[in-house]
Amino acid sequence: MNDRSLAAQLGPLPEGVAALPEEHQQDLADALREARQRQGRALAKAGNEALRFIPALVRPAIRRAMGL
């Protein structure tokens, strides 16, 4: 578990969210972190799959240009 709070991830919290107990805010923070990690993995997978449509000889240069 990461100790990064919801406010640290999002900045100032809306009034209703700030009123939640700390335990619930931490649950939301954990869910947000996990969702961002899933999104990052999905984007990386999509990028790698997109490279299949590029000729093999050009792929290394494209990967370097994209920072992959």
Predicted pLDDT of residue 14 = 92
Amino acid in position 63 = R
Predicted pLDDT of residue 1 = 47
pLDDT per residue as tens, the chain (68 positions)? 456 888 888 889 999 999 999 999 999 999 999 999 999 999 989 988 988 899 999 989 988 898 87
Residues with Cβ within 8 Å of 18's Cβ and at least 6 positions away in sequence, in order, are 7
Predicted pLDDT of residue 51 = 87
Predicted pLDDT of residue 2 = 53
Classify the C-alpha dihedral 26-32-38-44 as positive or negative: negative
Residues with Cβ within 8 Å of 5's Cβ and at least 6 positions away in sequence, in order, are 25, 26, 29
Tell me how far apart the alpha carbons of residues 3 and 24 are, in angstroms, rounded to a whole number.
13
